């Protein structure tokens, strides 16, 4: 009985440790579930198909990392009255959760310290003098000095995909750091209505154009793993103590 329990605990622990060891997977394209869009409280909610991420792909053009997001439906052909939508890449440049120019919003950023927001937004008519008719706009924000997002125009919106470069439009360096892809819909433009993100837990890491995903393991699993290791040690000690007295 004790031996069986020990074997079972060992097997489960080894499985858990293997899962932890293999959680960093090198890849360039990452899938996201269909239908996992959420509301401002984080609860599942029905959303427009162009809010629902299904795939996030990374590739390099001229030394700059690009992201291409695939959605469950075709993106709007033009601006929508009283509605703002954005397809975001939230980037933690310094890998430090304590620095976050954009603020903190775990529902969207999964807890990383976001220093840079690169996005393609769909601006409604009549809200900005720079774009009175509304439309798609590319923006890079890093919150250095006065808040003044840099715009860029070489983003691509095509059917159910949106692609854009992650580098600063001023010099377009290769982006390094960590990131989360997100989609947000505000309607009216100041009220979060629905969103999606990828990965759903954890973040992507960028190193010289190579991207990995690091899913953060729930603390309960790590605690369970540690408890099992402790349990095995206690069982083995008890067993050897029993042997010593027989
Ligand atoms: Ca999704
Ligand atoms: Ca998602």
* Ligand 2 center–CA 198 separation, angstroms: 5
233 lies in the same domain as 173? no
* Ligand 2 center–CA 38 separation, angstroms: 9
Ligand nearest to the CA of 108: 2
210 lies in the same domain as 110? yes
* Ligand 1 center–CA 184 separation, angstroms: 12
The residue segments making up the domain with residue 245 are: 1-23+217-246
32 lies in the same domain as 143? yes
51 lies in the same domain as 104? yes
Phi, psi of 132 (to 5 degrees): -60, -30
**201: number of CA atoms within 13 Å, CB side?**
6
1 lies in the same domain as 76? no
* Ligand 1 center–CA 72 separation, angstroms: 8
pLDDT value, residue 28: 82
Tens digit of each residue's pLDDT, the chain (246 residues): 556 656 555 555 544 444 444 344 444 899 999 999 999 999 999 999 999 999 999 999 888 999 999 999 999 999 999 999 999 999 999 999 999 999 999 999 999 999 999 999 999 999 988 899 999 999 999 988 777 799 999 999 999 999 999 999 999 887 789 999 999 999 999 999 999 999 999 999 988 878 999 987 545 455 555 556 566 565 566 555 555 544
User: Which among 61, 83, 54 is positioned nearest to 156, based on CA atoms?
Assistant: 61
* Ligand 2 center–CA 141 separation, angstroms: 23
Domain count, the chain: 2
115 lies in the same domain as 223? no
54 lies in the same domain as 143? yes
Q: Which residues surround ligand 2, an ion (CB under 5 A)?
A: 32, 36, 196, 198, 200
* Ligand 2 center–CA 155 separation, angstroms: 22
209 lies in the same domain as 221? no
135 lies in the same domain as 244? no
3-state secondary structure of 112: coil
What is the per-residue DSSP string for 37-98? -B-TTS-B----GGGSEEEEEEEEETTEEEEEEEESSPPPSS--TT-EEEEEEEEETTS-TT
178 lies in the same domain as 188? yes
47 lies in the same domain as 75? yes
């Amino acid at each position: 009985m004790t031996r069986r329990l020990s074997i079972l605990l060992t097997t489960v622990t080894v499985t858990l440790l293997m899962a932890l060891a293999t959680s960093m997977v090198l890849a360039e394209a990452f899938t996201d579930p269909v239908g996992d869009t959420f509301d401002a409280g984080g609860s599942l909610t029905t959303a427009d198909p162009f809010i629902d991420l299904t795939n996030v792909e990374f590739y390099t053009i001229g030394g700059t990392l690009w992201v291409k997001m695939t959605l469950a439906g075709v993106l709007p052909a033009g601006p929508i009255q009283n509605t703002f939508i954005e397809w975001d890449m939230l980037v933690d440049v310094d890998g430090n959760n304590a620095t976050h120019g954009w603020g903190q919003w775990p529902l969207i950023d999964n807890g990383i310290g976001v220093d840079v927001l690169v996005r393609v937004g769909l601006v409604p008519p009549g809200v900005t003098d720079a774009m009175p008719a509304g439309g798609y706009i590319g923006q890079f924000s890093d919150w250095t000095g006065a808040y003044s997002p840099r715009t860029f125009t070489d983003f691509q919106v095509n059917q159910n995909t949106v692609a854009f470069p992650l580098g600063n439009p001023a010099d377009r360096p290769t982006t390094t750091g960590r990131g989360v892809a997100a989609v947000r819909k505000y309607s009216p433009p100041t009220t979060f209505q629905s969103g999606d993100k990828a990965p759903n837990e954890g973040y992507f890491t960028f190193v010289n154009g190579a991207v990995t995903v690091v899913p953060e393991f729930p603390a309960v699993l790590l605690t369970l793993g540690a408890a099992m290791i402790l349990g095995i040690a206690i069982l083995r000690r008890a067993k050897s103590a029993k042997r010593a007295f027989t």
